[in-house]
Structure 1
Amino acid sequence: MITWLDILFQVLILFFSVVLHEVAHGYAALTLGDPTARDAGRLTLNPIKHMDPWGTVVLPLFLILIRSPFLVGWAKPVPVNPYLLRDPKRGMMLVGAAGPLANISLILLSAIALRVLPFSAPPLLFDLFKFCCAINIILALFNLVPVPPLDGSKVVAGLLPPKLRDAYVGLERYGIFLIIGLLYLGLLDQVIIPLYRVIFYLLVQA
């Protein structure tokens, strides 16, 4: 049974995780020559700067109301100007990969913490790291789906020839509809959730 304390933990972890995800994009862009996110004041862990009405308010609240076993969401994307990157093609691939890599880092740190915590540690501490692992596995898997504007599409776009890349990136205007369609067709139930269960088992329960 999920308690209100569990929900609070998940909300705090979700906010921190999606904010770190976007800050990672911004720092990657800055390192590669684009200061746009820094100049916009987005290289901060202050969640107020990254709030997205749908991704950080409506969706998590909806999932709480339907008593979802875990929360997911997103923050407002940091601005990136590919024309300011020293190598736009390679740079966008690295910027796109930075967000999921931030989530993967949190997954690994949480899994390590669960392994080294003594059995005498407070149960709430175990719950905290389990939630952090679970939420970030879902976030990483979802963002790696190669559908524009998700991060996986940035990596794929960098591997395509110019004409095909332009057509692929052009799908971004229909991105939300493509994502909804894929979810309707079972992306979550048939792909992401099974992968999540395997990864969570190997890292946390094995």
Structure 2
Amino acid sequence: MVVVLFFSVIVHEVAHGYVALKNGDSTAKDYGRLTMNPLPHIDLVGTILVPAVLYFSHSGVLFGWAKPVPVNPANFRNYRLGEITVSAAGPLSNLLLAAVFAQLLPWSGGNPGFFHLCKYGVIINLYLMLFNLIPIPPLDGSKIVMPLLPRSLQRLYAQLEPVGFILILLLLYSGLWGVLLRPIFRFFMELLLG
């Protein structure tokens, strides 16, 4: 699980940086972040401490994140298109990884290690995709929604960012996360695994 999570969050961040480059912003490339080498992506809290605490406490949940790639929207050729496509790239990369792991699952044969690697590859990537698509700042979903709003609403929406993590924690710990997203998660699981 830890290996899959670590790999998946790195792919997620590299996808943001790569699509930013395609939109005219080379910041991630300039900082050496368009690489699958894990070292530049390690965030002490999100990549090491949080997953380690969850894993060793047998919480049943594994969660973490990589250091976000630096992106400068001022460099985008088209601000609105750049903001939407760069923000969507991370969650879409997780959907693509989930699909790849789903395709590899039947090849696991009698190898339980490979089977669990592929199974967790599907589950973790679907959760990463759905979690990041929640439209609460600073998650990717908010950056997809914000450019579509009128400017007056964009300013109001942006003011949620300082309390965004509190709202996300409330969503997770209240159980609303499960209620709202479990049907969507099941839909994607059935779509990918049949």
TM above 0.5, yes or no, is yes
Deviation for aligned residue 1:185: 2.6
Counterparts in 2 of 1:180 and 1:11: CA distance versus 1, 3 Å: same
Residue 110 of structure 1: aligned partner: 101
Q: CA deviation at 1:51?
A: 1.1
Distance 1:127 1:182 in 2: 28
In structure 2, what is the equivalent of residue 24 of structure 1? Answer: 15
Q: 5+ unaligned residues in a row in structure 1: which ranges?
A: 1-9
The size of the alignment, in residue pairs, is 194
Task: Give 1:49's match in structure 2, choosing from 27, 35, 40.
Answer: 40
Runs (4+) of structure 1 exceeding 3 A deviation are 192-195
Stretch deviating more after TM superposition (185-194 or 122-131): 185-194
How far apart, CA to CA, are the structure 2 residues paired with 1:118 and 1:58?
Answer: 31
| Superposed CA offset, 1:51-104 (max 9, x none) | 112211122112112323442211111111111101111210100000001000
TM-score by length of 1: 0.87
* Per-residue CA distance 1:123-145 (angstroms, 9 max, x = gap): 32222111111110111110010
- Paired residues for 1:55-204 under 5 Å: 55-115=46-106, 117=107, 119=109, 121-204=110-193
| Whole-angstrom distance in 2 between the partners of 1:183 and 1:70 | 12
Superposition deviation, residue 40 in structure 1: 1.0
1-structure distance, mates of 2:59, 2:174: 20
When the two chains are superposed, the root-mean-square deviation of aligned CA atoms in Å is 1.8
2:108 touches 2:115 (CA, 8 Å); kept in 1? Answer: no
- The normalised TM-score by structure 2 is 0.92
Identify the range of structure 1 (105-114 vs 91-100) with the bigger mean alpha-carbon deviation: 105-114
> What letter is aligned with 1:130?
K
Cα deviation for residue 196 of structure 1 reads 2.8
Query: What percentage of residue pairs aligned between the two structures are identical?
Result: 49
Answer yes or no: is the 8 Å Cα contact 2:108–2:114 preserved in 1: no
